[in-house]
Chains A and B, each alone.
Chain A
Amino acid sequence: MKFTLSWLKEHLETDADARTIAETLTLIGLEVESLEDRSAALKDFVVACVVSEEKHPNADKLKLCMVDTGGEVVQVVCGAPNAHTGMKGVFAPPGAVIPVSGEALKISAIRGVESRGMLCSERELLLSDEHLGIIELKTDLAPGASAAHALGLDDPLFDVAITPNRGDCTSVAGIARDLAAVGIGRLKTPAVTPVPGAFASPLRIGLHFSAGAEKACPIFAGRLIRNVRNGPSPPWLQARLRAIGLRPISALVDVTNFIANDRGRPLHVFDADKLQGNMQARLAREGESVKALDGRMYDLDPETIVIADDVRALSIAGIMGGEDTGCTEETRNVFVESAWFDAQRIAASGRELGIQSDARYRFERGTDPEFVVQGLELATKLILEFCGGEPAETVVAGAVPVARAQIVFSPKIVRRLAGIQLPDDLIRGILVSLGFTVEGDHELSVTSPSWRSDIEGPADLVEEVVRIHGIDNVAAQPMPRPHAVARSVLTPAQKRMRAARRTLAGRGFNETIGYAFIPRAHSALFGGGDEARQLENPISADMDALRPSVLPSLLAAAQRNAARGFSDQLLFEIGAQFESGIPGAQATAASGIRVGGAVRSWTKDAHGADAFDAKADILAVLEAAMGAPMSAPAKSGAPGWYHPGRCGTLALGPKVLAYFGELHPSVLAVFDLRAPVSAFEIFLDAIPESKAKSRARPLFQPSPFPAVERDFAFVVEAKVTAEDIVKSARSAERNLIERVDVFDVYEGTGVPEGKKSLAIAVRLQPKDRTLTDAEIDAVAQKIVAAVGKATGGTLRT
């Protein structure tokens, strides 16, 4: 909502300056987004009069002008062909900053003659590109007067962001009303006086809505004015519109734009000669379309309100008029429409059709239903004034809908909600100044004004009171502490997430945050790409699918970083991945990738990222998240985006905790990444919660007897897993065997084809005695037998 200070002063008697007004508006909830004071740059420039001119002694094209600047007459060297005695221009005294150059003007000698100032062109003041001549002011102002004033630029322009609830402030009058309530001046909006009709309206109007839809347009008023002459509107009106960025079109159209901005009442003018029969408001019919004033054809759905004649829909009600019946210079008979439309319906239709218009802006924020007929009267008055003509009697269909809320209001609620104690008189005064009717003493009966459709209950009145009193005056009040010493607040799941994050960063991973939406093609590589995970209205074609895994986000990041020259990367993200587009069908995954890993180092101990790096990553995260090491073994295999032979799954029963492994080369190819890349996905929600009831650890009871370690190397079929051997070895003597560690795997010379050698270290820890050699040998025999039985392995000799 834009307006100028002078326009505001048509409604508000005030001495406040623009800055004060802007600050006040912001503090009462009408946020001033900008206050453009176009005169500030011209504050040193004055009106000056050329009192004489003569040729420059040393230059043909220059003149010496004696210029009356108000206080003194100075000599100015001027090159403008239009400089002449008697003209008034804009004078820049020495020291003035010239807008086009940003530099201060100096007294200088031009071709040997001193020049004490400058007469300016429009371009020098950044008013236009005109630079052939100097500005000639047609003004009665005396020399020395403000040039900005003479140029009509001393009218500061406000741009206010109107929240969706304040339809009443989409008008200069409404803004003036709020300012008056807060004490910035006195409201002086002129009352509207009806214009009597000269003849009975030949046009009739009707409301044609089916039961249930009447609310769409409860009142529709109209007036025919005959024999108008539609030319340009008067200069003052054109200036008003131009100042707020509207293009003057014709008197009839300008009147509607003026009233919309001045009073917040949208109107529409039809060329009555283009109408066929009578006028009606109704919902659009199936297949109906309207060519709007923007020249585009709009297909209307049956929820859209239209203004129609007996034959066809003419305009999209409350949003945009139709081109066919619009007013032109030739219009002689005009039909002015003023109606009240349901805000939600206008909002819905406007959005559906994708039309932004000044009418929609106002209707969807709520317009004053009691001003429907008054707006029409005001339009009539102005049209007669600018275009002449004879008005018919006003015709009205329907009735003004009830817009005033009746609220029982106890002033105590101000204290309850806002925490400030205000005298009852002050509360009452504020409400009255805003147009509310207030009756009663302690329990007030408050009636809202017709223009405040947003007021529904006591809390709204509290807001009005506090807003005008100054919400910034509400003092801070400490909240009680629930506990003297704050308690831990994180849930186990939140703690797990934090542990996972810090563990991964501790292992050298850089945390990233990726978008939840990725290209559908990427999604398809990770089990997605289906319809259920598509966005209906993606912001771009490559952000159209909810990600089924965090990995594609990381791989895309790795691809970008590779292009920046980073070959080794450790990236992770903890975030949502989606199973469908249903709320809750998402999982929190801690996922990471290791790219490269073959860091060139003089230490020569680097290796390419592999599945065992990823396995170490998930074990570290799971241990940190669960508070205990993960005991379940990994199983071979993971989803298709992993290398089929180099991946694994960690699960507890049916619950998958994590996948890990090298990524599939064809997936890497899509991201232009060369192997090796290892990856993991840890599903934090699947991690079981600790069942420990006590903080106390189990008693520390180390055995006083020495532990014994024995190594075994088994030759087994290549397909036998390490886990098979470790498990069977452990089972040989559970009470004694404390741990079994794999320390060597070997295939090649010395081991038959198709077999491998796997070496384990077994640690025996007796609890009640020192083991004898014979006992140790017996356990060793049992281990060899158990492994042999379970895996067919034999001791390597």
Chain B
Amino acid sequence: MTIQVDESSNSPMSDIEALEQRILSEIGAATDEPGLEAVRVAALGKKGAVSELLKSLGGMSPEERRENGPLFNGLRDRIALAIAERKTALAREALDARLAFERIDVTLPARPEPRGTIHPVSQVQDEITAIFADLGFAVAEGPDVEYDDYNFTKLNIPPDHPARQMHDTFYVARQNDGDRHVLRTHTSPVQARVMLKQKPPIRVIVPGRAYRRDSDATHTPMFHQLEALVIDEETNLGHLRWVVEQFCSAFFEVDRIELRARPSFFPFTEPSVEWDMRCDRSGGQIKFGTGNDWLELGGSGMVHSRVLEMCGIDPARYQGFAFGFGLDRMAMLKYGAPDLRAFFDSDLRWLRHYGFAALDLPTLDGGLSR
């Protein structure tokens, strides 16, 4: 808005001009918000100078009013605007002054937050589960304390069978039920449990703890196994090889792996096969798929017809394979953790070194490992 000044007009006009000049200079002189507010009240408050001028319009003739109305209103608007502008400027000055004062040392450490970790065995278990879920395998479980019948007899290892010596078994004290149970020496009793409960087709893996009375540099009395069981009408050794191949290739994240099958003996499989994977240990680190070394993966075979029978499955109609690999060992190999005993020692330094972040949940689309 432009202020219209009529040079020919008389004193009221210059009075108003003087008033405006005075108020504007007061506004300019206000150094803080209360000072500015006092100026505002003196000008625009109920009894302020400008308000009084506006009130005076009421006593004027229509002509006077027509002449003075726009003058007075214009004055009020200009003053109000000037106050508002000054207020904003004062606020900005005050903020600038405050901010100029507020300073932190950004090199101070962040607020402490503990960094949690997932144990490598759990992580690897999740990786394995993701791979086998894609192949249609469910995850089965069983108890750690197991019936002798499931741990041995139903797996075609009758009492006093020399094969029982392959398992250094922990026995639990005789119970109230009169029986003496074992800590399962492998995850294979879950095979029996699954077959007794579920009709074929069956595809399960059993990752879990197992116990043997064995403790040295490379053995701990508790360890983890990965069991797999497939039962249907046609599954054969060729399928077993394919599954082991697919699994190892996915798990170790190597496109080309080379497996070696060796005949072996397990009472619960016939024929029985042990698997080795070609590797290269020459560079201090293990590499898969090349080299002149073989890495033992574990045992497997076609489920023994007598095991099928004892578990309520007709061997004339159904057949399938099972395998059992060392889960801890797979974690050790994949993630370069050389000492099995450290897995169960709960050393915070180890847990932090080999552990995984909470949100590193392995997926097939995002990759099993970062």
Contact = CB atoms under 8 A, between A and B. Distances in A.
Given A561-B348, A599-B112, A459 B264 contact: no
B329 interface: no
Given A163-B265, A479-B239, A564-B348, A489 B133 contact: yes
Interface residues of B, number: 100
Which of A165, A351, A459, A537 gathers most chain B CB within 10 Å? Answer: A459
Nearest to A502: B358
Contact of B238 (A419, A491, A533, A581): A419
B321 to A, nearest CB: 10
B7 interface: no
A508 B351 CA distance: 12
Given A512-B119, A536-B173, A476 B245 contact: yes
A502 B361 contact: yes
B143 A506 contact: no
A561 B350 CA distance: 11
Nearest to A460: B270
B127 to A, nearest CB: 13
A459 B270 contact: yes
A462 B305 CA distance: 13
Interface in B295-349: 302, 304-305, 319, 343-349
A584 interface: yes
A476 B241 contact: yes
A416 to B, nearest CB: 7
Interface stretch (B64-72, B74-82, B95-103, B207-215): B207-215
Contacts of B203: 482
A419 B203 CA distance: 19
A476 B133 contact: no
Interface in A530-557: 531-540, 543, 546, 553-554, 557
Interface stretch (B17-25, B29-37, B85-93, B156-164): B156-164
Interface stretch (B41-49, B50-58, B177-185, B281-289): B177-185
Contacts of A566: 348
Interface in A333-378: 343-345, 347-348, 351, 364-365
Given A163-B264, A466-B263, A510-B355, A347 B209 contact: no
B109 interface: yes
A544 B253 CA distance: 40
B139 A560 contact: no
Interface in A26-58: 26-29, 31
Contacts of A578: 144-145
Interface in A447-466: 457, 459-460, 462-463, 466
Given A463-B271, A502-B358, A537 B170 contact: yes
Interface in B101-131: 108-109, 111-119, 121-122, 126, 129
A491 B215 CA distance: 34
Contacts of A245: none
Contacts of B273: 471
A498 interface: yes
A474 B357 contact: no
A122 interface: no
Interface residues of A, number: 106
B235 to A, nearest CB: 7
Contact of B359 (A165, A487, A502): A502
Contacts of B235: 479
Contact of A459 (B138, B304, B359): B304
B160 A345 contact: yes
Interface string B193-232: 0000000010100000101011100000110000000100
B114 A532 contact: no
B260 interface: yes
B263 A490 contact: no
A585 B262 contact: no
Nearest to A600: B112
Given A459-B304, A489-B139, A491-B139, A29 B263 contact: yes
B358 A505 contact: yes
Given A351-B165, A536-B173, A571 B117 contact: no
A742 interface: no
Contacts of B170: 517, 535-539
B344 A534 contact: no
A602 B108 contact: yes
Nearest to A530: B173
B251 interface: no
B348 A505 contact: no
Given A477-B242, A569-B348, A511 B221 contact: no
Nearest to B304: A459
A513 B344 contact: yes
A537 B122 CA distance: 29
A540 B211 CA distance: 14
A322 B265 CA distance: 34
Interface in A573-624: 574-576, 578, 580-586, 599, 601-603, 605-606
Q: Which 9 A-B pairs have the closest CB atoms?
A: A508-B114, A29-B263, A419-B238, A557-B346, A581-B172, A163-B265, A463-B271, A477-B238, A419-B236
Given A486-B133, A510-B351, A539-B213, 14 more contacts: A164-B161, A351-B165, A418-B237, A462-B270, A463-B272, A474-B238, A476-B239, A494-B139, A510-B352, A536-B173, A538-B170, A554-B346, A582-B145, A583-B146
30 contacts: A29-B265, A345-B160, A457-B270, A462-B270, A462-B271, A466-B271, A476-B241, A481-B135, A487-B133, A489-B139, A494-B141, A505-B117, A505-B355, A508-B116, A509-B114, A509-B116, A510-B355, A511-B116, A511-B118, A511-B355, A512-B346, A514-B346, A515-B344, A535-B172, A536-B171, A537-B213, A570-B114, A580-B176, A582-B145, A582-B176
Interface of B: 108-109, 111-119, 121-122, 126, 129, 132-139, 141, 143-147, 150, 158-166, 170-173, 175-177, 179-181, 183, 201, 203, 209, 211, 213-215, 221-222, 230, 234-239, 241-243, 245, 260-265, 267, 270-274, 302, 304-305, 319, 343-349, 351-352, 355, 357-359, 361
